[in-house]
Each structure stands twice: as structure tokens, then as C-alpha cells.
Structure 1
Amino acid sequence: MVNVKEKIVQNEVHDPSVLRTAREIIENCSSPRLIQNEILNAVERNELWRGKECLNLLAPEAPTSPTVRNLLASEVGTRAAEGHIGPTQRWFAGTTHIDEIEALCVELLKKVFKSNYADHRLVASMVGNLAVYSALTKPGDNIMTIPQPTGGHSSNRYDGPAGIRGLNIFDVPMDSKELTVDLEAFTKKAREIKPRLVALGASMTLFPFPLKEMSKIVEEWGGKIFFDGAHQLGLIGGGQFQDPLREGACIMTGSAGKTFSGPQSGIILWNDPEINKSVTDAIFPALAATHQVNRVAALAAAAAEFLAFGQEYMEQIVKNAQALGKALQEKGVTMLGSHKGFTKTHQVIADVRAFGNGLEIARKLGEANIITNKNLIPNDKPEDWDYPSGLRIGTTEVTRLGMKESEMEIVADFILNVLEDKKSTKTVRNEIIDFRKSYQKIHYCFD
């Protein structure tokens, strides 16, 4: 008979061996203070390895400036500020200066994205997506979202906020070669389904969507377009991608911690006053209460940096992604979208079937201090999630460290040396540690 403790262990979703190691560390420490030291040591090891010795090519990550990072540890982070901005709308007294911080953040976000409304209280962009579905749909409504093998993300599928809301989810037809919406197929399918909302959210995002055309189609029955710009938000603010709120989207969410290069959190933006109450009611009191004012201050500081440096920074990110895609293709790696210049964003996608699967390749590159992620590509099936055919490679972090097109040739060589076993992962790792010594400073900020 299985006892309760064994059953709990069996049902654990996390890696049992990693948790076992953590338990052993805790049990072998003679005091809570020594346990805390183990935590501090792990943080320091990560800062040295990931922060100073690796080529971080993850599309969802960007280093924050020293000012933004310092604000995340500021005293205001111990303060609670439940409610909307303004003394009569707060649950707590003593928020005079917090109101200043939050108002500056809201107005800065409006200025960066040229929007009428913005909200700063979302701890993650996925929470922003749930706010949109809560505000603009009701359970049982039909919606259309992008399926995952062609770039979509779980936040708009059955296993994310859209599914939690109880929506009927249909696929947006995608062109697997052009890597954008198949407009003809979409028009036919949308007119049959008449979705209340069409969500354009893609974690594998290389090219703009035909937003204007899609918006005109869904207007026929009063449908709306929701743009999930988790990855593209900084590119949009920097004028390097399409402008969803002016091309037909009624609302846009995004991550502050990806191309925008702020603290990990969510941003939500819209122009239409008609949806203002439903959206803000979904945010508070439904999904956000005390919302980490230190993070809000850091987000405001990142927005101020973006006003000064965003266009230049985002332009270089795209140039670097295009240069890296081109270099990898010329060296024998099959890159998606090569006939269209590889990308219009911060990422490129490699088809690595000639070298293994995406999981194997990402792990092998990781041993050489090259950090990427496995990724589904259009030829894959949803069940290939653990062992997909693709690799996603981003240029946000290396760009903020000062790298430009010439360095992308070097980065491509590092990758090829691992993929083709020209050098051992240990040799490449040592070369990268040495290479990174010249790229330690954070650029595109006031510090």
C-alpha cells in the first residue's frame, strides 16, 4: 500500500532528483543561516555563469540596466498599494509617493507606445492575456488563436488563460512557408466561425501579421483583434515592427522583460474608451491587488531609458538577428524564412534535424555556454513538444552587451563548431568565456 508521502512524491511535477538534492542540502545544514548561504551561493553561481560567461541567445530574456536592477531591491518593494492610483481609490493610507511612482509609470508607457490607456500592475504578460479574455469574452464564446507548431503560445490555447476562461478555441490558419497568417484561409474560416476575438500571439515570431486586413474581416460581425505582443513589445515601441493599435487591434499585451528589457512583468495597452471599464475591472480587483511597487518603479525607469535609447537599441537587435540568420544559413544550418531575409524581429529559427532534435541540440550548446531553447516548427506536431525539430535563437541580450553584425559571424562560428563537432563543447566553452570578457557592460541606458 502506498503511503501518503510516497503518493505526494509520485505526483510531483518537478524533477525528483533536483528536489532530492535540495532536500539533502537542507538536511545537511546545521542551521537556517547556512541554508540561506546555500541560496546566496546558487544566486552568485548563476550570476557568474549566465551573466558573465555565457552567450545568452534566449529570445525571452534581456539584461536590465543597473538602475532597473537596483530599483527591484528598493525599500518601496515592502509597501502595499492596493487599488487604482489616487488617495480616494487606495485601500491603504500612506501612498502619496507610490501614487507618484505609479502615475509616472503609466504616463511613460502611454508615451512610449502612443496609447490612450496603459496598465502597469500585471506581474506577468500571461496575466494580461487573462485580463483581456475576462474583459472581452464570456465562457462559451468562439475565438481564434495561433496553434503552437506554427508559433503560437499556450497563453492563448486550451492549456492557458483562454482555456481557463472556457472559450471555444479555433486555429488561425498559418502559412508554414511565409510564417504568417494565411489570409485567404483565415477569411473563409473566420466567416464560418465568427469569433468574438482573434488573438495574434506568437512566441515564434519572425514577420508581421496582416492586421489591417484581418481587422476589416472580423468587423463584419463585431469581432475584435487582440495582439499578444509578449515578444515584440520593445520592437513595437521602438518603431521596428508593425504598430498593432493603429492597424486594427483593440488591445495589446506584452512582456516588460523581453525586448522591452525591463523587469519581468506584463504591460497592457489600449485606445478604445468603450473597453476601459471592463479591462480595468478585470485587472483590479480581479487579477491584481498588491502589485510589487518596486517592480513598477523599475518598469518606469526602463520606460525612461526606452524613450532615450529604444529606437537605436531595437534597430540593432533586428540587424543582429538578420545577420546571425544569414551567417548560420551560409554555414549550412537550415533557417526558417531565409527567402524573406530570415526575420523582422529579435529572433531566428533553425531547423536542426540534420544535427539531432531541438532538445539534444539545446543541451549540447548549453554545455558549451551557448544558451538557446528547443522549439516546435511548422513540420512538427503538438506531441513533438519534448523533442521538436527547431531551435529558437534571440539577439536581445547580446545586443545590449554591445555586439553588432560582425560579432554575429563569430557567434555563428561558435554554434557551428558545436553542431558539427569541430571542437569539443569544453573547448568552445573556454573560448566563449574568453570572448565574453570584452562584453560585460550594459548599453542603451543612462548608467
Structure 2
Amino acid sequence: MNATVTLADVVRLLAENEGEARRGLSMVPSENAMSGISKLPMLLDPYHRYFFNESDHPDRWHFRGAQKLRDLEMNLTVPLLRELGRAEHVSVRPLSGLSAMTLVLAALGGENGSTVVTIAPENGGHFATPSVARRLGLEVEFLRGTGPHELDLDHAAELVARVRPSLVYVDQSHCLFPIDVASLVTTVRAASPGTLVHVDASHWFGLVLGGAFRNPLDEGADSVSGSTHKTFPGPQKAVVLTRDAGIDQRVRDTQDYLISSHHFASTIGLGIALLEFRDCGGAEYARAVVAHTRRFGRLLDERGITVAAKERGYSAGHQLWLDTEADGIAPKVASDRLFAAGLRVNFMAGLPGFPGQGVRIGLNEPTYQGLAGDDLVELADVFAAAVHDTSPSEDLAGRIAALRLRTRFGAAVGSTSPLLENALALCADALRTNPLVSRSAQVIAS
């Protein structure tokens, strides 16, 4: 059967999408951008290679394609994760947040028939956690609370004491405010001392590494995982961190048969992104994400869009939830109008506290791209005009393209985020002195 899409179609569609991406702005909270230099390994030979010999044992180089680059994982990515995550043990094997979830449940959830406790969907728990756990032969019970962002610790104490779970898996997926991990850990320890507590910090991970959120390991959690492409501006991947050597060994014993290729080039890209994050303003970026999110919630509220959790300052992190149904506009219609204006957002059911669908947005990528100050006012004006359909979409798209143009080339125009601008400056000498790297990087630099 002949393919209906030709190679010419592929190139054309990719080019069209790239043009739209450079003129538009993603506000999907589970996505982020990354620098050109951190994407570079995925264009080069490491993308095709396996890497298994973490110990650098001379007899274990069964796959030799990564041998010269072994230090980029073991002496760059892993030590930076230990440093920024304040963890002695790190796994970079998971391919995504869901891959990390599966690994942790398989490693720490116990034998078939063991019970794991996780957060109820109406309190923000991830939709996939119970299904993955049950497919691994585990029983599932739910932590619940009186509101979408609080847990009932009395209920948690009773539940944990009664079922004695092997693992409490804290899986906030839909989240505006983090739960109190320290209080939950104290509750679990008192009710069932042998129960482990794992925190899936995927949405918060960049805020944790940047110090804007408290590290769950400091709060007493036994382990933490996170995807590296939401609030952290890195590749689509995930990691597991712990300070407990026994837990680390259980994860390693399990990952050997759950994950084969861990996408070595992405792991190198993660190391570059971590280096940029540490040395080029990651902490400032994390604080700016939180500040921009709260400010943008207020700006939208002032422009007649109903924003959830107004009474609590809209958000403690990077997400905002918009109840456009309350404003007489179906979420899909709002999303379509925003897309026509060059803004990409989520609309979905299942947001805690929403009877139907809502619009979910994030300020993580706009902050990474460099929007700040009056840019946020302009963004809010365009956003509200698109939702309320008060201006032609082509005019609004032009205004968003102008915003992106001011931030796109960073150091050249002086309007990018400090993290991205400083990262560009850091790698400038390397690009100038290596023609091969320079030519490759120019393709993806922006």
C-alpha cells in the first residue's frame, strides 16, 4: 500500500509547524521549551546508542557506541541531579512521568496483593495511577480531602492504620497548591511505620530544583520522582531520586527489566539543561514562574475571566484553571479561539472542583521564553480578547507573534529570561570554536 503522506509533505508540515511555534506561545502547563544546545545531542550520534555500563567496567562494554560519552551521563547529569535534588541516589532511566510511575509502583509497591494508597482523582490524583497499580497486581485505596487541594489527615491516619499499605504514592497531577508533604509523612509514620512515602513531583519539579518549592525529601519522603519537561525546561524524560540506598537498589533491580534504552541522548540533553539551570539562573526562573502565575491570574480576573481559587491567590505554582463555562463560553470554544490567536492551552474534564470541563494554562514556558513585566499585561489583553471574541484572531495572532519576536533571540534583543539568555552566553564560545557543533546548533538554536 502506498503511503498517503510523502516526504515532501513531511518537510512541509514540519516547516509550517515550526513557523507557527516560533510565532505562537504554548501555555500548556505540562510542556516547556529547552535551549538549542541542550537539544543538540538528539541531532547527533548519541541519539542512536544504548548505554548500560554505569560502572565503566572494561568487561561490560557490550554496546560500545556510548563509550566515549559515558561521562556525560555519569559525571554531568547524575551529579547535577544529586546536587540540585539533594539526593544521594539517582535513576535517569525513566522515559516519562508515567514511565517513572510504573517503575516506582513496581519497585516499591510490594508483592501481588499488596496495597498502595494514592490521591483520589477528585483531589488531583493522576488518572493513570490506580490503573497502573492494579495491572501490577496491587490493591488501591485513596487519600481524600474536603477540597481539591487539601487532604484529610485524620482520614489518612485511619486508612493507613487499617490497610497497612506498602506505599503511599503522592501523585498530584491536577494541582494549584501542593499538599503538606511533611504533615502527611508524619501521619503515615505514626500509623504504619513500615510504609514508604513517594512523591511524584512532576509538575513541580523545576520549582523544587530551583528552590521555589520545598524538596519532598527534606519533608521526610522516602523518594521523589519528576518529569523533566514541565516546570523544568528539559527533555521529555523523568528521574527518580532518593537518599535511601535500599530504595535505590530496589529501583535499580526493577528498572533493568522495565526499561531498556533510556534514550541516552535525552539524558545528555538533561545534563546540559541542568548545568544551564544551576549556572544561568534556574532559581530566579523558578521564583519568576510562581510570581508570574499569580499575577497573570489577577490580570485575567480583572479582564472578566473566571479564574479558580481567587480567594487563595489563584495558584502557588505554574498552573491556572479557568472556568469559562461560568462566563458563558464553552472551554473547547475558548481553546479554539486562543489557538487561532497563537496561544496553545489545555481544555479538559476532571479538574478538581469543576463540574464539567475547564481551561488549564501554565506560565512556565512563557516565563522561560522571557515574558515579564508589561509583556504579561499584553498577553492578558490578547488572551481575554481571544476568549471573549472581541478582536479579529489574525490581529491577536500578530500581537502574540510580536511578543515572541521580542524574546526569541534572547541576548540579541535583551528581552529573554535570565536563564535562557545566560545559557546562550555560556555556550557561545563552544559554538564559535567548533564548526560542526556550531552548524548543528544553528538549526535548533531558537
TM-score of the superposition, structure 1-length normalised? 0.85
Please state if 1:196 is matched with 2:169. no
Deviation at 1:90, TM superposition (A): 4.4
Query: Which region of structure 1 is more displaced relative to structure 2, 436-445 or 39-48?
Result: 436-445
Query: Which region of structure 1 is more displaced relative to structure 2, 328-337 or 389-398?
Result: 328-337
The aligned counterpart of 2:390 is 422
Question: Letter of the aligned partner of 2:84 in structure 1?
Answer: V
Question: Letter of the aligned partner of 1:369 in structure 2?
Answer: G
CA deviation vs aligned residue, 1:221-269 (integer Å, no higher than 9, x gap): 2212111111111100000012101112111111111111111111111
Distance 1:174 1:363 in 2: 34
Secondary structure in 2 matching 1:174: coil
Deviation at 1:307, TM superposition (A): 0.8
Please state if 1:130 is matched with 2:98. no
Of residues 106, 114, 127, the one that matches 1:154 is 127
The aligned counterpart of 1:11 is none
The aligned counterpart of 2:332 is 359
Distance 1:349 1:411 in 2: 16
Of residues 274, 282, 299, the one that matches 1:327 is 299
8 Å contact 1:197–1:223 — kept in the other structure? yes
CA deviation vs aligned residue, 1:306-362 (integer Å, no higher than 9, x gap): 111210111111111111011112222222222222111111111221233333322
Change (3 A) 1:78 1:325: same
Distance 1:424 1:188 in 2: 56
Question: Letter of the aligned partner of 2:306 in structure 1?
Answer: T
Question: Letter of the aligned partner of 1:248 in structure 2?
Answer: G
Q: How does 1:236-385 map to 2 (within 5 A)?
A: 236-283=208-255, 285-308=256-279, 309-354=281-326, 355-375=328-348, 376-380=350-354
The aligned counterpart of 2:44 is 74
Secondary structure in 1 matching 2:169: strand
8 Å contact 2:123–2:144 — kept in the other structure? no
The aligned counterpart of 2:413 is none
How many residues are treated as equivalent by the alignment? 407
The aligned counterpart of 2:175 is 205
Secondary structure in 2 matching 1:247: coil
Query: Which region of structure 1 is more displaced relative to structure 2, 390-399 or 141-150?
Result: 141-150
Question: Letter of the aligned partner of 2:380 in structure 1?
Answer: A
Distance 2:52 2:172 in 1: 32
The aligned counterpart of 1:184 is 154
Deviation at 1:93, TM superposition (A): 4.1
Distance 2:403 2:275 in 1: 31
Secondary structure in 2 matching 1:144: strand
Distance 1:431 1:163 in 2: 48
Of residues 74, 84, 87, the one that matches 1:103 is 74
8 Å contact 1:149–1:380 — kept in the other structure? no
The aligned counterpart of 2:377 is 409
8 Å contact 1:61–1:258 — kept in the other structure? yes
Change (3 A) 1:260 1:342: same
Deviation at 1:89, TM superposition (A): 4.5
Deviation at 1:399, TM superposition (A): 0.8
The aligned counterpart of 2:432 is none
Deviation at 1:132, TM superposition (A): 0.6
8 Å contact 1:358–1:390 — kept in the other structure? yes
8 Å contact 1:319–1:405 — kept in the other structure? no
Question: Letter of the aligned partner of 1:77 in structure 2?
Answer: Y
8 Å contact 1:205–1:347 — kept in the other structure? yes
Please state if 1:112 is matched with 2:84. yes
8 Å contact 1:324–1:405 — kept in the other structure? no
Change (3 A) 1:120 1:151: same
Change (3 A) 1:148 1:174: same
Distance 2:204 2:24 in 1: 24
The aligned counterpart of 2:13 is 42
Distance 1:131 1:340 in 2: 35
Distance 1:107 1:395 in 2: 29
8 Å contact 1:122–1:291 — kept in the other structure? yes
Structure 1 segments unaligned to the other structure (5+ residues): 1-22, 30-34, 382-387
Deviation beyond 6 Å, 4+ runs, structure 1: none
Distance 1:94 1:185 in 2: 53
Change (3 A) 1:48 1:174: farther
Distance 1:143 1:47 in 2: 43
Distance 1:418 1:255 in 2: 31
The aligned counterpart of 1:3 is none
Distance 1:170 1:76 in 2: 42
8 Å contact 2:54–2:74 — kept in the other structure? no
Change (3 A) 1:339 1:379: closer
Deviation at 1:293, TM superposition (A): 1.8
CA deviation vs aligned residue, 1:249-291 (integer Å, no higher than 9, x gap): 11111111111111111111111112121111111x2122222
8 Å contact 2:375–2:403 — kept in the other structure? no
Change (3 A) 1:92 1:419: closer
Question: Letter of the aligned partner of 1:151 in structure 2?
Answer: G
TM-score of the superposition, structure 2-length normalised? 0.86
Deviation at 1:46, TM superposition (A): 1.4
Distance 1:73 1:302 in 2: 16
Query: Which region of structure 1 is more displaced relative to structure 2, 179-188 or 58-67?
Result: 179-188
How high is the sequence identity, in percent, across the aligned residues? 24
8 Å contact 1:401–1:441 — kept in the other structure? no
8 Å contact 1:146–1:174 — kept in the other structure? no
Structure 2 segments unaligned to the other structure (5+ residues): 411-416, 425-446
The aligned counterpart of 1:4 is none
Q: How does 1:55-70 map to 2 (within 5 A)?
A: 55-70=25-40
The aligned counterpart of 1:214 is 184
Change (3 A) 1:89 1:259: farther
The aligned counterpart of 1:438 is 406
Secondary structure in 1 matching 2:304: coil
